[in-house]
Amino acid sequence: MEILQIDDTLSLKRTVDGGTEEQRKAVKAIISEVRAAGDQALRAFTEKFDAVKLDDFRVTEEEILEAYHAVSSAVVEIITEAAANIRTYHEKQLRPSWMTTAENGTMLGQKVTPLDSVGVYVPGGTAAYPSSVLMNVIPAITAGVERIVMVSPPGQDGKLPPGVLVAADIAGVKEIYKVGGAQAIAALAYGTETIKPVDKITGPGNIFVALAKREVFGDVAIDMIAGPSEIGILADDTARANEIAADLLSQAEHDPRACAVLVTTSRTLAENVLDEVYKQLPHLPRKDIATEAIENFGAIYVADDLEEAVGAINQLAPEHLEIVTENPVGLLGKIKHAGAIFLGRYSSEPVGDYFAGPNHVLPTNGTARFSSPLSVEDFQKKSSIILYSEQAMNENGAKIAEFARLEGLEAHARAVEARLK
């Protein structure tokens, strides 16, 4: 990590793993196999990739109870409180169907309908992410989705991590299967004897899961395919170096390809943060990952003034943006591109990862230029409503027919004229 000057070519060094040709072929083969052989294929792949033989994939009531016993009551309380905060925030995103009416009898509007069914992928492996369960499931439930199916790869004991099961139960999931990888995505997209297909698949996963989501995209909807985590911090000389460094490192520990960038108007802060990063780094359990991220994808930029600093941030379009300046709210209107914006000293990024309420599924890799956080709207769709009255048709029919003929579509014109006297 070093201190750099801002120039026109400023950009986050980013890298997205698109997978190898071999991985793509493997994923395609797994999907075909699941489509052809259903549950039998799921069993075979689970034995092969997760090293466990399962007859029944569905998580039972007993397993949920066991999970509650395996975690402390403090953890249950924290997950419950986090879930309540996430629910409260996402309920604010609900928008009603609406209509307008005109005196001639016309009614126009938009009907909002929840998706019928959604599949949520929860990654397995060494880490368990109850927060990922909450952040994907709660918006779907809030949207009114009736059937939510969770899938996650089992451990070698044939079980899912208790924190994940408790989070799923608190969030309100009733249908959980112990299956992971590309085979789980295939099952969600096309169905098997046990798992009925869904309309949309969300949730993070490894490269095989990401490639499988790309592959089934179109037959079902998918959420964005996330790149490595990113943080951009905009700070002036009121910021504390140890806190800024800790926040940069909290992103860096996620992934060796995570991005952590500070843009500051204060050279002193820049230098102190650089020192602090290398002071705190060696004491982190995930220091190997964090070091790789900081060295390859970390940077500190010094800006001449706040205007230039804000310009740099908009150019970076980071997934997470912290503004730690004298008047962070005053800068909000200038920020154009960021997935989530954390304002002020106490809005450390992990506050948003787990607890505050907004979603932690955010656009990465510069897509904050055109994408939004995961929301209730991702689990609903709209239908336009058009009701034309006889009077409206008599007033406008001839014009509509003329427009159709301008475009060379005679049958359109005649369909309208069939209603005219």
Which residues are catalytically annotated?
Answer: 319-320
3-state secondary structure 106-164: CEEEEEEEECCEEEEECCCCCCCCHHHHHHHHHHHHHHCCCEEEEECCCCCCCCCCHHH
Q: Quick one: which of 52, 64, 207, 284 contacts its own copies (CB under 8 A)?
A: 284
Q: Quick check: 21 binds its own copies (CB under 8 A)?
A: no
Q: Quick one: which of 230, 236, 243, 255 contacts its own copies (CB under 8 A)?
A: 243
Number of residues engaging its own copies in binding (CB under 8 A): 119
Q: Quick check: 387 binds its own copies (CB under 8 A)?
A: yes
3-state secondary structure the chain: CCEEECCCCCCCCCCCCCCCHHHHHHHHHHHHHHHHHCHHHHHHHHHHHHCCCCCCCECCHHHHHHHHHHCCHHHHHHHHHHHHHHHHHHHCCCCCCEEEECCCCCEEEEEEEECCEEEEECCCCCCCCHHHHHHHHHHHHHHCCCEEEEECCCCCCCCCCHHHHHHHHHHCCCEEECCCHHHHHHHHHHCCCCCCCCCEEECCCCHHHHHHHHHHECCEEECCCCCCCEEEEEECCCCCHHHHHHHHHHHHCCCCCCEEEEEECCHHHHHHHHHHHHHHHHHCCCHHHHHHHHHHHEEEEECCCHHHHHHHHHHHCCCEEEEECCCHHHHHHHCCCCCEEEECCCCCCHHHHHCCCCCCCCCCCCHHHCCCCCCHHHHEEEEEEEECCHHHHHHHHHHHHHHHHHCCCHHHHHHHHCCCC
- Residue 334 φ then ψ, to 5°: -85, -15
Give the x/- contact pattern for its own copies in 333-352, rule: CB under 8 A. --xxxxxxxxxxxxxxxxxx
Give the x/- contact pattern for its own copies in 111-150, rule: CB under 8 A. x-x-xx---------xxxxxx-------------------
Q: Quick check: 363 binds its own copies (CB under 8 A)?
A: yes
Q: Which stretch binds its own copies (CB under 8 A): 44-52, 105-113, 169-177, 263-271?
A: 105-113
Q: Quick check: 14 binds its own copies (CB under 8 A)?
A: no
Whether 177 has a binding-site annotation, put simply, is: no
List binders of its own copies among 198-217 (CB under 8 A): 199-200
Q: Quick check: 74 binds its own copies (CB under 8 A)?
A: yes
Residue 15 C-beta: closest distance to its own copies, Å: 13
Whether 254 has a binding-site annotation, put simply, is: yes
* Cβ–Cβ under 8 Å, residues 130 and 405: no
Q: Quick check: 23 binds its own copies (CB under 8 A)?
A: no
Instruction: Specify the residue, 41 or 79, whose C-beta has the smaller distance to its own copies.
Output: 79
Q: Quick check: 392 binds its own copies (CB under 8 A)?
A: yes
Q: Quick check: 389 binds its own copies (CB under 8 A)?
A: yes
Whether 353 has a binding-site annotation, put simply, is: yes
Whether 412 has a binding-site annotation, put simply, is: yes
Q: Which stretch binds its own copies (CB under 8 A): 34-42, 43-51, 151-159, 380-388?
A: 380-388
Instruction: Specify the residue, 61 or 74, whose C-beta has the smaller distance to its own copies.
Output: 74
List binders of its own copies among 264-283 (CB under 8 A): 280
Burial class (CB in 10 A: 0-12, 13-18, 19+), 384: exposed
Residue 193 C-beta: closest distance to its own copies, Å: 17
Q: Quick check: 299 binds its own copies (CB under 8 A)?
A: no
Instruction: Specify the residue, 238 or 347, whose C-beta has the smaller distance to its own copies.
Output: 347
Residue 121 C-beta: closest distance to its own copies, Å: 16
Q: Which stretch binds its own copies (CB under 8 A): 44-52, 136-144, 252-260, 300-308?
A: 252-260
Residue 139 C-beta: closest distance to its own copies, Å: 12
Instruction: Specify the residue, 93 or 194, whose C-beta has the smaller distance to its own copies.
Output: 93
Q: Quick one: which of 31, 34, 79, 137 contacts its own copies (CB under 8 A)?
A: 79
Whether 315 has a binding-site annotation, put simply, is: no
Which residues line the annotated binding site for NAD(+)?
A: 121, 183, 206
